Structure 1
Amino acid sequence: MVLQVSRVGLVCAGNKIREKSPKSPFIAVSFILSLSFALVTVAKAEEPAIGQSLPEFYIGVDNQITLTRGIYEGLANPNYNRLSLLVAHREGNPHFHGIGTYSYSGPSGNPVVNPTNSNNRIPETSTGLPPLSLIAGKGIFQNSFVSAATGEEYSNLLMQSVATINNSSDLGEQALFNSSGGRWNRSLGNANLSLQLLEISDGLTVANSLGQTILANAGDIYAIGTGDNFSFLPKFLASRPGKYSASFKLVDLSLSWGESGIFNLDFQTVPEPSTLISLILFGSILLTRSSSKN
């Protein structure tokens, strides 16, 4: 017997279960355990975000004038004086990863400047992590799937200035702030920061904490704040189950700094626990009936 999951429920396909097949109970148990594991996964996704009190995402300006490593070592940094989206990695040797920063490609003697880099997605592709979870919304987000700080890496989408890290006396935070030779520790000054939407999946929108749509169509620009004094938490809303992506760049309307490279955020919806419970019960009944007929 082959079990298949479809959009309308569970269906049995293939040959009938052979009479007194010793595999039937095993299949039933495996099926129920698989769905139970999925239920636990969803329940964990809705737990408070333990250990995520510190932001993961920061906005900074690239201070590095000349590249110091790789095949383009010694060349002018194409990302110099540009706004940059950064991910803080606090484990081990604290450091930042620039997401979608301007980069070179081609031969070092005649390089091409690109408005992004190979590390331009969240979650970072190198981690092998699945897209960020969009969970069933509540309250003002009811009837939508919404992004949330679930405890998963990268799920806390709060963005602040790198300069805010310098307010901490913690040695680890100071190491992070001054990492990469102080490449990212410059103040944003009087920058008028905005986020520009470049591309977005159908059915996905970006809202504020009040549920008001702030970015919906390619080209839309939303003002984040001025200088180093801002705290921006976008909420991503999906109208139906599926996988979604959105592409952005940071812009400074005061023109103090160059625009950032292009970065992407990837999401997928997670079913409600009640839906998985129904699947478990239905699957159990279905398999029990199949076994009793043989």
Structure 2
Amino acid sequence: MDYQGKVVAITGAGRGIGLAMAEAFHAKGAKVALADLSGAEEAARALGGLGMTVDVTNEAEIGAFLDRAERELGSVDVFVSNAGILRTDEPSWDAMGADDKAWQDSFEVNVMGAVRSSRQVWPRMKQRGGGVFVIVASAAGLLAQIGAASYTATKHAAVSFAESLLIAHGDEGLQVVCVCPQAVRTDMIGGSEDGGIAGADGIVEPSDVAAETLAAIAEKRFLALPHDTVAGYELARASQRDRWLGGMRKFRRMMVEKRGRPV
């Protein structure tokens, strides 16, 4: 895609992966609209774009963000649903450890944030013949994040929703890309030097995730995998489920022995 003059709207864009996405699209000539709970306005100024405080659990705010983006920049060609949260299984570190609020918050942001965004942006894109919708999920949505059951479940749902979008609207001109990295050097891994379990195959930079996303768009690929090992893991999981689950249980035991916790 030639991004010169195109408009790209991104949620969760005040820092981390979202900001790296904005920088990558901007470098290609796109006009960018950034949304986040904080930091979007400042980040957007550096890119000559639009920044706005938006809570993706509020569909009216997403709609207002798109209205303003289209009024000030033009019709949105690419939408990146990047806002996400991680809740671990503390305090008991079992799969039911997180309380109801942690589960509900995870669902509201990690799944419904993308659902609400698609409701708002797709009708606009459809009128113009199509567009690109990117969902930043996680390798946890294809595999599992040990010690974070609510994160794993909702990221699986995000991947499934991305698939459903493509199946339902691909023939109408919607390109869908689902981004599934393992550990990325953002606030989500905290101060961990090795990224914990998610960092077993190394930590990539947010710019690497952005570059892989742009490559997936250009190559018309559904999955964007910044860690190329994830494809092999997903194949092993599908073809040898019991063996894969056994390996994950062993991995969890090793992490508990090493750290005293499974993350």
TM-score, structure 1 normalization: 0.24
Q: Which has the larger radius of gyration?
A: 1
Task: Indicate the structure with greater helix content.
Answer: 2
Task: Indicate the structure with greater strand content.
Answer: 1
TM-score, structure 2 normalization: 0.26
